[in-house]
Structure formats: C-alpha cells, structure tokens
Structure 1
Amino acid sequence: MEEQAIILDDQAIRRALTRISHEIIERNKGIDNCILVGIRTRGIYIAERLANNIEKFEGTQIQVGEVDITLYRDDLSEKTVDHEPLLKSTKLPEDITNKKIILVDDVLYTGRTVRAAMDALMDLGRPAQIQLAVLIDRGHRELPIRPDYIGKNVPTARTEIVNVELLEVDSLDQVSIKKNK
C-alpha cells in the first residue's frame, strides 16, 4: 500500500520560488547577462514563474529558454519507441555563449538529468557560467552536481517518489511524496 504526503502546497511553492528569485538576483548582482533555461517539462514552468517574479522585483525581463535532453540521456535505449527517441524541442532566446545560464528543474535526484542538460547546452554554445535552481533536492546523487538554489531539501529513500504537480500541466500546485508501506 502506498501512502502520499503533501510536502509543499501552493503557498509553499510560491514562497520557495519567491526566495529563489531573490537569491538569483542577489548572487548575480542583478540579471544582466543571465538566461533562465527550464529543463522539459516542469522546469520550463518553474523558470517562467521565476522570470515573472524577477521582472516584478527588478522591473526588467529576464530571458527564458527551454532545453530538451532526450538525445543526451544515458538511458536513451529505455526512452525510445520503435527505436526512435521521442524528441521535443530546445528553444533558447539567443546565443548562450558568454552568458550566465541558470538551469531550472523541478526535482534534483541522481544528477543525470542535469548532466544531460549541461551537455545539450554545451553543444549550443559556451556559457560563461551554469548555475542550477531546483524546487526539490531529494538527495541520492550519483554525479558531483550541486544546486545553487533550492526550494526545499527533502531527504528521501530511493524507493520513495517525489511528485511535483504544477498548475500549468496538472491543474494544481503541490509537491507530494509517495511512501511505500
């Protein structure tokens, strides 16, 4: 039997993203030369929310892009249908060379998704810096990847599932954890 516990509700998500937005502005001394890049799928919506917050606080828009990591995954053979990868798209607002890229994702787990996103970005240009913002850091890293901005640290067991639901795709904002009993 599975038990689900809500670890962030809509207000807690809003507060976490507000804090991350302020931290991004502070660390980068504004947003000049910065681009938010969301990792498909939910990372894109989180990046857009961060951009909206930053625009409110700074009075200036920060550019937002999205990266599809499908071809960069190290488990590609498991992600194919009829031996063809399911491709989405990478959309960047401009050349990323010499820009500060802030990668955005919903959950950081092993680090493999972030590694794949960095590989995809490096194929498109040479950023001055890559930073990482995540809503949830659940631990269990397999690669030496550490987020710069964290909404919430959630220690988990490997058997647990962290489920991020966002209004844009799921019709509600909440983060829950499913615990196997």
Structure 2
Amino acid sequence: MSARTVLHEADISRALTRIAHEILESNRGADDLVLLGIPTRGVTLADRLGALIRDIARRPVPVGALDVTLFRDDLAQHPTRSPHPTDIPSGGVDGKTVVLVDDVLFSGRSIRAALDAIQSVGRPAVVRLAILVDRGHRELPIRPDFVGKNIPSARSERVNVRLRETDGIEEVTIGE
C-alpha cells in the first residue's frame, strides 16, 4: 500500500490557526505563555504557532525548543539518537503556561520525556500539549489539549508530517 495524503498545505494551515485560537482562549490571552517545540518538526510548528498567536493577540509570545533525547526511556535501544539544542526563551518557564508542541502523538513516550526534560529547566505553572496529528495507540496516559487532526491508524502504518521548512513540501501522509 502506498502512502496517501491526509492533510494538504491548506489543511495544516487551518489546523494551526485553530490551535492558535484555542491556546489563546484557554490561556485567556498571551500573558505568561511560552511555546516549546519538540525537535525536529515540533520546533517548526511552535514557530508557526508563535507567529499566529502574535498576529492574533498583537504581541509576541516566547518560542523555544526542548530536546527530549536524553530523557527518553528507549535511549538504550536507539543509541544513535543525536541530541538537538534546547533553547529556552529568556524569561524561562517558571510560573508560566508552557505549551509543548509536536507533530505526531503516538505512544506518548516522547511527551513523557518532554515532561521530564521541562522539569530540568524550570517549574511551569501549567503544561499543555499541542499536537498537529493524534494517531492513537497510546502506551501512557497522555492526552493532548490541542489537536489539529485525529487520524485513526493501524499500529503498522506510518504517519509522516512534512513541512516546507524542513522537507520542502507541506503534507501529512499515512501508509505502510
């Protein structure tokens, strides 16, 4: 079976715009809000959400990156994983509402690692989760607060998010 496209560029754009509005509504504005993307594509999505929130709220929102590599529980099975830089915005995360941003939510293990990683850099007041694609099959009790699209999938299928900035194309595909 070949991969089929489930989200096109316009779909991704609409989903991110909706998520930006939902984040602002949930937080009652942009005050004390920090977006942290999980590398690689989560960082790109966090940057886009930051720009959308800035345009809607008419004020900038700090955006950074949170590497979870060294906090993963499968590091021994995948020792070739190379860390990405963590970039916490000035002002930090203490007492802030932090929204973790990632492209696909599957087992929940990356998010569990992100929760551990964030505790190593500060103590947020609240941590929320924004995901472009929720494909199900959770192994941990992790649930996103903001979801672009729920895409039911078989465990054997692969969901690929491709973004213009990292891949030169904008789409989400699913296939074997």
TM-score after normalising by structure 1: 0.94
The match for 1:103 among 97, 100, 103 is 100
Give the whole-Å Cα distance in 2 for the aligned partners of 1:112 and 1:167. 26
The match for 2:173 among 171, 176, 181 is 176
| Equivalent residue number for residue 148 of structure 2 | 151
Give the whole-Å Cα distance in 1 for the aligned partners of 2:125 and 2:6. 35
Q: Which runs of 4+ in 1 moved over 2 A?
A: none
Amino acid at match of 1:135: L
- Are 2:113 and 1:116 aligned? yes
Give the whole-Å Cα distance in 2 for the aligned partners of 1:146 and 1:5. 26
Q: 3-state SS of the aligned residue for 1:71?
A: helix
| Equivalent residue number for residue 67 of structure 2 | 68
Q: How big is each residue's C-alpha offset from its partner over 1:98-122, in whole Å with a ceiling of 9 and x where there is no partner? A: 1100000000000000000110001
| Equivalent residue number for residue 87 of structure 2 | 91
Structure 1 unmatched ranges of 5 or more: none
Alpha-carbon contact 1:36-1:102 (below 8 Å) kept = yes
Give the whole-Å Cα distance in 2 for the aligned partners of 1:88 and 1:49. 19
Aligned residue runs from structure 1 range 74-85, under 5 A: 74-81=73-80
| Equivalent residue number for residue 46 of structure 1 | 45
| Equivalent residue number for residue 37 of structure 1 | 36
The match for 1:164 among 144, 155, 161 is 161
Give the whole-Å Cα distance in 2 for the aligned partners of 1:157 and 1:169. 26
Q: How many residues align?
A: 175
- Once the two structures are aligned, what percentage of the paired residues are identical? 48
Structure 2 unmatched ranges of 5 or more: none
Give the whole-Å Cα distance in 2 for the aligned partners of 1:27 and 1:72. 28
Q: 3-state SS of the aligned residue for 1:116?
A: helix
Structure number with higher strand proportion:
1
- Are 2:2 and 1:6 aligned? no
Alpha-carbon contact 1:46-1:105 (below 8 Å) kept = yes
Deviation of 1:79 (Å): 2.5
